[in-house]
């Protein structure tokens, strides 16, 4: 992961593109957003628009993060390095992105299927806490919910920030109903059982 992410970081540090203008609270129409994201059901469209598969090829589940397995999974993340504003990967992935535009999310999330295909289940935006706080904007929110604040706790065995520097992130489950709520991080109806990677 480190070597690949270093290449990705180098490419986008040169480009100088670090995400869109920050915004504080935002209300989004999930039905309109679902229509706009429909094209990404074809992962080749996502790739053509600058998304890349998580270089670690990790399918994120609650259990793999040291959390209750009953919470379910997220899936495989396809990230948009420019929108995340990635600036480095050592010792943790870091960036300066403050991109919050839900019509062009910084992350797409897919569930691996038994036949080897990928099913789009959710989208996500992520902003770096340090960069976000520098904007003077309030804690980011969507549809009344504050984004999750993620930072690793060195006192635990799990990596609560998934190898990233402290950040705020928010998921929206558009293509898989989530019994826990459309804005929660994990979905008990999503599985990594058919993941063939690491």
Would you say residue 26 has pLDDT above 70? yes
Return d(Cα 91, Cα 15) in angstroms, integer: 22
- Identify the top-confidence range among 64-68, 111-115, 157-161: 111-115
Residue 172 dihedral angles phi and psi, to the nearest 5°: -135, 120
* pLDDT at residue 162, rounded to an integer: 79
- CB burial of residue 170 (10 Å; 0-12, 13-18, 19+): buried
* Tens of pLDDT, residues 119-162: 999 999 999 999 999 999 999 999 999 999 999 988 888 788 87
Return d(Cα 80, Cα 140) in angstroms, integer: 19
* pLDDT at residue 20, rounded to an integer: 43
């Amino acid at each position: 992961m480190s070597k690949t992410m270093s290449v990705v970081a180098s490419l986008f540090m040169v480009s100088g593109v670090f995400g869109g203008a920050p915004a504080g609270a935002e209300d989004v129409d999930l039905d309109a957003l679902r229509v706009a994201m429909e094209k990404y059901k074809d992962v080749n469209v996502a790739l053509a628009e600058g998304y890349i598969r998580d270089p670690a090829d990790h399918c994120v589940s609650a259990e793999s993060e040291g959390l209750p397995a009953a919470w379910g999974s997220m899936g495989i993340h396809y990230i948009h390095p420019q929108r995340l504003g990635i600036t480095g990967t050592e010792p943790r992935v870091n960036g300066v992105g403050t991109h919050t535009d839900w019509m062009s999310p910084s992350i797409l999330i897919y569930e691996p299927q038994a036949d080897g295909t990928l099913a789009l289940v959710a989208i996500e935006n992520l902003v770096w806490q340090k960069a976000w706080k520098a904007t003077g904007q309030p804690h980011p929110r969507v549809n009344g919910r504050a984004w999750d604040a993620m930072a690793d706790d060195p006192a635990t065995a799990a990596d609560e920030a998934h190898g990233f520097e402290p950040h705020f992130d928010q998921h929206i489950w558009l293509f898989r109903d989530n019994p826990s709520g459309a804005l929660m991080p994990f979905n008990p109806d999503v599985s990594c059982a058919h993941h063939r990677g690491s």
